[in-house]
Amino acid sequence: MDVISENRCFGGVQGVYSHASDVTGCKMTFGAFLPAEAADGPVPVIWYLSGLTCTHANAMEKAGAQGWAAEQGVALIFPDTSPRGPGVADDEAYDLGQGAGFYVNATEAPWASHFRMWDYVADELPALVGRELAIDLERQAITGHSMGGHGALTLAMAHPGRFASVSAFAPIANPVASDWGRKQLGAYLGADEAAWGRHDASVQMLERGFDGPVLIDQGGSDQFLDLLRPEALSQAMAARRQEGVFRMQKGYDHSYFFVSSFMEDHVNFHAEALWA
């Protein structure tokens, strides 16, 4: 693991690191905030998965999470959203290819050789930070924005017992029924739609739910509401009688102004579960 930068931040350290990934077959970069308590031993961690077009840096620099994490004594990990590099497949569209990994393991050409973000976020990166940083992998929570909210919810539901809590900001909630999903799942996973359901938060909420508390915030003036389909997830949570809260936030859009406005709530929500 190579150190790109480390900066003092709210009494802790905000670092950016890179490493050669066996899973994606290229160099990957991620951000990690460690609070002051990490100097004395491993601390709980909140994973933050970012959305379309983002790198590790967007949430790290714009979400305003570090101050709240420092207050709660928890770490933050900001993975990238896809493999990158000159040898990695890409597309001219912003919503496919580099910057748009959708947190799945691609099975179709030309994506399959590098686009394995499910295994990267679920297995390889946790193992790395557990070895190299003062992170307690027995106490994990996960959140994300947009495409990252989709990833956070599906990963959490697929790994019972791993995450104490899950939250999302404006998640792509029903990708099997949305142009933000059908295009990408078809490209990465192929035409057999039976393989898509495990990567749909609304489908998974109905089928299995989550074994802990859920918090969803959605902007009421989000310009992408029809693509996100939040009503599908809200209805699935109600039908499942899922422990959780779904909040429509009047007047808020899809931007990091929205995310940063409710970040304190999400960090505190996860900290309560992590320290329980």
- The pLDDT tens digits of the residues spanning 61-79 come to 999 999 999 999 999 999 9
Buried b (16+ CB within 10 A) or exposed e, 46-71: bbbbbbbebbbebbbebbebbebbbe
Look at residue 69 in the predicted model and tell me its pLDDT: 98
Catalytic positions, please? 146, 222, 254
pLDDT in tens, 189-232: 999 999 999 999 999 999 999 999 999 999 999 999 999 999 99
Average pLDDT of the chain to the nearest whole number? 97
pLDDT in tens, 151-191: 999 999 999 999 999 999 999 999 999 999 999 999 999 99
pLDDT in tens, 102-124: 999 999 999 999 999 999 999 99
- Express as a percent the part of the chain with pLDDT over 90: 100
Look at residue 126 in the predicted model and tell me its pLDDT: 98
Residue 12: is its pLDDT beyond 90? yes
Look at residue 276 in the predicted model and tell me its pLDDT: 87
Angle formed at CA 50 by CA 262 and CA 217, multiple of 5 degrees? 30
pLDDT-based confidence at residue 40 (cuts at 50, 70, 90): very high
- Distance from C-alpha of 35 to C-alpha of 8, rounded to nearest angstrom: 10
- The answer for residues whose C-beta is within 8 angstroms of residue 81's C-beta and 6 or more apart is 49, 50, 51, 52, 53, 54, 55, 99, 100, 101, 117, 147, 148
Residue 52: is its pLDDT beyond 90? yes
Give me the torsion for CA of 211, 156, 153, 55, rounded to 10°.
Answer: 150
